[in-house]
């Protein structure tokens, strides 16, 4: 029985960089979830009788929202929903399930690397039939709809048992509870040389993978321990918990500090890796060396041909604008296109669909390829393993040789979290005001070469995205980028991205903070961060 329920709009359901993200209590307001899910369905056309995929990272509130979404999908007229057992699907696995089953689209429940729990973060995101995040044209339509919504439709039925594999009827719609790992593991096996990686483990290669009590635990165990034969215990914190054990499931040097410390220790394993809440990010650490995500993108692009899935070479490389230019030099050498997009994976979808790019990445620990339409943490780890198995060299040697060949892009991101929104907007507005006057001026020892507010013209569909970050480029190729986060749930987060290119191998041994000192000082001078935000230091440096 379909019920039509009257509702009133919420004014704040605008999807950000990656879907709608709010605190759990915010989502628990009456009809808050229902309004947004109905707005998604109301913004789509032609899905009657088709397949929808639903899954999430298992965080607090995941199961409740899945039941609501299932019942609303049945009322909306979908023919079938594929849902991961226990409501679990990592974001890249969901993308794969959508693609493999030629589904109409998917609903992914996650707040990525943000904490989970009764007062922590939650999120709802819609992905289209190519498996990737909905483009802005759709997220804008969803937002417009949320402002007018006055009713939603839902079937009146008991909850679906999410823990039993199999096919169930929900008021005429088929619900298939699927194994969340199987299809994904099969896809990985088709891309990488599992025999070579397994042989490396047999020869004593040691690895530590921190699943951060988040969604990748079951994926990493099934692939790295079971299929590739790494010793049991290689995957740590492998059970997904609704509150991620009280931690931030964010694979960076702050939140994965234990892994970092172990990798810097005397008895470090050969390779350390971690993934985030929903499994799309990755952290790569070799014995005694952290690999920045920007460098990892460049290194993977330069070595991808060593993996069977990429032996034919790359069509092109795409990176988000704030990501370092390390990948640009690889693209140049390979003679393939390099595409610079705004922040957020949704901008890579068109390039991947058009066959213009094969590998994509962001400085925020996201790397992926055309195998799905999301960034993919476990994929990045497996490609690294494949490269290590093929090259038989330590991570540190591979990285330093890469720098010697291409030059080193010293890089850091400084985040000022939970600052006052007006102060943050004021800071960006003031920078925007003075952009025109900056070229030619000196900031300490640096001279500004160019300054702009990044705008992107999608080469595939011609759509334009403006105001994607303030770029200040200095003579000699260094730069500072300022932008406000689009994923936060309280106040504003200012991100300052700092990069310096150093071609001389004799200067590749510096500490990052030392190498970037002039640029960090210039960022402060240009933006007046301390004065405007009251913060003397960033909260997180990655
Ligand atoms: C952040 C990252 C961005 C990433 C997004 C989703 O967005 O910076 O690269 O795509 O999370 O994981 P932001 O908070 O900066 O808008
Ligand atoms: Zn994520």
What are 131-145's pLDDT values in tens digits? 999 988 999 999 999
Per-residue model confidence (pLDDT) at position 321: 98
Residue 497 Cα to ligand 2 midpoint, Å, equals 20
Question: Minimum-distance ligand to the CA of 212?
Answer: 2
pLDDT at 17 (0 to 100): 81
Our mutation pick for probing the ligand 1 site, out of 91, 276, 343, counting the most ligand atoms within 8 A of Cβ, is: 343
pLDDT at 488: 74
Q: Is the dihedral of CA 75, 77, 80, 84 positive or negative?
A: negative
- pLDDT 10s digits, 358-385: 999 999 999 999 999 999 999 999 999 9
Q: Which of 125, 279, 362 to mutate to test the pocket of ligand 1 (most atoms within 8 A of CB)?
A: 362
pLDDT band at 490 (very low <50, low <70, confident <90, very high): confident
Listed by start position, the domains of the chain span 2-179, 184-406, 408-541
pLDDT of amino acid 489: 72
- Residue 436 CA to residue 456 CA, distance in Å, equals 19
pLDDT tens column, 17-54: 889 999 999 999 999 999 999 999 999 999 999 999 99
Catalytic residues: 112
Q: Measured in angstroms, how far is the CA atom of residue 343 from the centroid of ligand 1?
A: 6
Q: Is 402 a residue whose pLDDT tops 80?
A: yes
Residue 529: the pLDDT is 97
Closest CA to 209 of 256, 149, 175: 256
Strand partners, 472: 451, 480
Q: What is the pLDDT of residue 516?
A: 98
Q: What is the pLDDT of residue 18?
A: 85
Residue 140 CB-density burial (10 A; 0-12 exposed, 13-18 middle, 19+ buried): middle
Q: Give the model confidence (pLDDT) of 162-184 as tens digits.
A: 999 999 999 999 999 999 999 99
Query: What's the rounded mean pLDDT across residues 426-454?
Result: 97
Which pLDDT score is estimated for 365? 95
Each residue of 518-535: pLDDT tens digit?
999 999 999 999 999 999
- Stated pTM of the model: 0.96
Inter-residue contact 166 to 20 (CB < 8 Å)? no
Mean pLDDT (the chain) is 97
Q: What local confidence, expressed as pLDDT, does residue 405 receive?
A: 98
Per-residue pLDDT at 309: 98
Question: Mean pLDDT across the stretch 75-80?
Answer: 98
Give the H or E element holding residue 482. Answer: strand 479-484
CA of 365 to the centre of ligand 1 (A): 9
What is the CATH topology of the domain spanning 184-406? Alpha-D-Glucose-1,6-Bisphosphate; Chain A, domain 3 (3.40.120)
- Those residues whose C-beta lies under 8 Å from the C-beta of residue 58, and which sit 6 or more positions away, are 86, 87, 88, 214, 215, 240, 241, 242
Q: Do 264 and 288 contact (CB within 8 A), yes or no?
A: yes
pLDDT value at residue 519: 98
C-beta neighbour count of 99 within 10 angstroms: 21
306, pLDDT greater than 90: yes
101 has a pLDDT exceeding 80: yes
pLDDT digits (tens, 9 = 90+) for 206-242: 999 999 999 999 999 999 999 999 999 999 999 999 9
Beta bridge partners of 81: 52, 175
Using the Cα atoms of residue 237, residue 242, residue 248 and residue 251 in order, give the sign of their dihedral: positive
Residues whose CB falls within 8 Å of the CB of residue 189, separated by 6 or more in sequence, listed in order: 227
CATH topology of domain 2-179: Alpha-D-Glucose-1,6-Bisphosphate; Chain A, domain 3 (3.40.120)
Alpha helix (H) residue ranges in 43-114: 62-76, 91-100
Average pLDDT for 300-317: 98
Three-class secondary structure of residue 316 per DSSP: strand
pLDDT for 263 beyond 90:
yes
- 220 CA distance to ligand 1 middle (Å): 23
Reading the block at residue 383, the tokens are 């490609």
Give the integer Cα–Cα distance in Å for 199 and 205. 9
pLDDT at 446: 97
Residues with CB under 6 A from ligand 1: 17-18, 112, 320, 343-345, 362, 364, 366, 485-487, 495
Query: Residue 121 has which token pair?
Result: 């973060």
The edge-to-edge listing of strands for the beta sheet with 166-170 is 20-23, 121-128, 105-109, 51-56, 80-88, 173-178, 166-170
The CATH superfamily of 408-541 is Alpha-D-phosphohexomutase, C-terminal domain (3.30.310.50)
Structure tokens at 8: 């009133």
**Of ligand 1's atoms, which has the minimum distance to the CA of residue 113?**
12
Counting from 1 in the atom list of ligand 1, the atom nearest the Cα of 486 is 16
Q: What is the pLDDT of residue 523?
A: 97
Q: What is the pLDDT of residues 322-349, one digit of tens each?
A: 999 999 999 999 999 999 999 999 899 9
For residue 316, the cross-strand partners are: 337
The reported pLDDT for the residue numbered 491 is 87
Nearest CA to ligand 1 atom 2: 364
- Reported as type and span, the H/E element at residue 508 is none
Give kind and range of the element (H or E) at residue 24. helix 24-27
Which residues neighbour 406 within 8 Å (Cβ) at sequence distance 6 or greater? Answer: 298, 302, 326, 329, 330, 333
pLDDT at 346: 87
Dihedral, CA of residue 517, residue 519, residue 521 and residue 522, to nearest 10: 160
- Confidence check: pLDDT of 157 > 90: yes
Q: What is the pLDDT of residue 250?
A: 95
């Amino acid at each position: 029985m379909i019920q039509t329920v009257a509702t009133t709009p919420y004014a704040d359901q605008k999807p950000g960089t990656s879907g709608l993200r709010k605190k759990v209590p915010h989502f628990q307001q009456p009809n808050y979830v229902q309004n947004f899910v109905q707005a998604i369905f109301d913004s789509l056309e032609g899905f009657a009788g088709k397949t929808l995929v639903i899954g999430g990272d298992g965080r607090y509130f995941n199961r409740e929202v899945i039941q609501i979404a299932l019942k609303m999908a049945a009322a909306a007229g979908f023919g079938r929903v594929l849902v991961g057992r226990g409501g679990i699907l990592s974001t890249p696995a969901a993308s794969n399930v959508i693609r493999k089953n030629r589904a109409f689209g998917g609903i992914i429940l996650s707040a990525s690397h943000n904490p989970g729990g009764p007062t922590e973060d939650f999120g709802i995101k819609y992905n289209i039939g190519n498996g990737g995040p909905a483009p802005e044209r759709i997220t804008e339509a969803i937002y417009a709809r949320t402002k007018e919504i006055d009713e939603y439709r839902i079937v009146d039925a008991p909850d679906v048992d999410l823990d039993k594999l199999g096919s169930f009827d929900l008021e005429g719609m088929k619900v298939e509870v699927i194994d969340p790992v199987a299809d994904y593991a099969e896809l990985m096996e088709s891309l990488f040389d599992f025999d070579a990686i397994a042989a490396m483990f047999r020869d004593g290669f040691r690895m530590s993978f921190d699943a951060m009590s988040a969604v990748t635990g079951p994926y990493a165990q099934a692939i790295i321990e079971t299929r590739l034969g790494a010793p049991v215990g290689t995957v740590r914190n492998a059970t997904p918990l609704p509150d991620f054990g009280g931690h931030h499931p964010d694979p960076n040097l702050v939140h994965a500090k234990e892994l970092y410390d172990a990798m810097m220790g005397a008895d470090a394993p050969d390779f350390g890796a971690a993934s985030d809440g929903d499994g799309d990010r990755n952290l790569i650490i070799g014995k005694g060396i952290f690999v920045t995500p920007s460098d990892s993108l460049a290194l993977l692009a330069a070595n991808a041909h060593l993996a069977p899935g990429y032996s034919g070479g790359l069509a092109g490389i795409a990176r988000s604008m704030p990501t370092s230019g390390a990948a640009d030099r690889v693209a140049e050498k390979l003679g393939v296109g390099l595409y610079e997009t705004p922040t957020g994976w949704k901008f890579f979808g068109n390039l991947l669909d058009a066959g213009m790019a094969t590998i994509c990445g962001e400085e925020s620990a996201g790397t992926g390829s055309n195998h799905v339409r999301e960034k993919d943490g476990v994929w990045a780890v497996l490609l690294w393993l494949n490269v290590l198995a093929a090259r038989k060299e330590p991570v540190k040697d591979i990285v330093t040789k890469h720098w010697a060949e291409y030059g080193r892009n010293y890089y850091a991101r400084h985040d000022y979290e939970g600052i006052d929104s007006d102060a943050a907007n004021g800071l960006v507005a003031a920078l925007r005001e003075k952009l025109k006057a900056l070229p030619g001026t000196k900031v300490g020892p640096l001279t500004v070469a160019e300054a702009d507010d990044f705008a992107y013209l999608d080469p595939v569909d011609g759509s334009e995205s403006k105001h994607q970050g303030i770029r200040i480029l200095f003579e000699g190729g260094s730069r500072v980028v300022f932008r406000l986060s689009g994923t936060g749930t309280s106040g504003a987060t200012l991100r300052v991205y700092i990069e310096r290119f150093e071609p001389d191998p004799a200067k590749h041994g510096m500490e990052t903070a030392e190498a970037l000192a002039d640029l960090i000082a210039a960022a402060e001078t240009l933006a007046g961060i301390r004065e405007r935000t009251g913060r003397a230091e960033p909260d997180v440096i990655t």
